[in-house]
Amino acid sequence: MRIVAPACTPDRDHVARGVEVLTSWGLQVEVGEHIFDQWGYMAGRDADRVGDINAALRDPGVRAVFAAMGGKGTYRIIADLDFEAARHDPKPVIGFSDITHLHLALWKQCRLAGLHGPYPNPSEEGAVWAEALRRALMTTEPIVLHQDTDEATAAVTVEGTATGTLIGGNLDAVRTEAGAGLPSLEGAILFLEHQKGTGLGEVDRALTQLARSGSLDGLHGVALGQFLGFEDIASDPTQGGWEITDVLRDHLTRLGVPVLGGLPIGHGRYPTMPLGTQATLDTAAGTLTVEPAVY
């Protein structure tokens, strides 16, 4: 396993704790050469960050590539990924948030499936998510996510079932790749999660851009994870009583496809889920079943 930093610079203790977890699973763990570099708000210069990723993709001894953290900057380097190496020796990339850019690029160029999941942590809370990561990485059983009615997005549901390749991740990253590197979503189930930035308008703009660009044409379904940071929006008189669920419902119900909200995955809860594999969405059962991404 190779740990890299495609985006921001991770804390050394954070990396060490993850190495502790991974080695406890019997894995041999290596750390990228430039993982602790810093250039502005990123983990070193673009050439060095992508160089660490490409070195991992080219190394036959590396069987998975872990992103130590997300943040900012992955979008700057995806055009320089060694896609030929990824095709020749497929191995999953694990990460989420800004790492969505890697997942999208590797799927579009190589049909390489990855894992939307956290960097492991041995803390008591982190151990739960680390075990979910271990199962997704080291077993061949499908991953089943169950709707949590306590999640805000659970209120955004359009009944039905759908099957297709699961593609997506962080909404801002998906929107950024529209017109630049977003793979075709025809026949896909689109997964989205988000962390509040500038408010409801940011989500509205992102979904509008995806729709106007034609990126949502041909979708089979939508799966919604956590949309965090919008809890007090309804009390803001400038929002006209709207909440995040109103914005999501206004856009997604127009698509005419099943929508399953309330999946407990995003920036606050960290189960691991494959991306780029076949998935089945069932709103009656409240489940998203995803085939494994194991090479």
Instruction: Look at residues 254, 264, 288 and name the one whose alpha carbon lies nearest to residue 158.
Output: 254
Q: Is 213 a catalytic residue?
A: no
CA distance 187 to 60: 33
Residue tagged active-site, from 34, 101, 103, 267? 267
Residue tagged active-site, from 97, 194, 243, 291? 97
- Maximum CA extent, the chain: 57
Q: What is the DSSP letter of 81?
A: S
Count of other CB atoms within 10 angstroms of residue 291: 18
Torsion on CA atoms 249, 94, 19, 139, rounded to nearest 10: 100
User: Contact, 67 vs 6, CB < 8 A?
Assistant: yes
User: Contact, 66 vs 139, CB < 8 A?
Assistant: no
Orientation angle between helical segments 244-252 and 200-212, nearest 10 degrees: 10
Residue ranges in the chain assigned as alpha helix (H): 12-24, 46-58, 83-88, 100-110, 124-138, 171-177, 200-212, 244-252
Q: Is 267 a catalytic residue?
A: yes
Residue tagged active-site, from 34, 101, 151, 193? 193
Catalytic residue list:
97, 193, 267
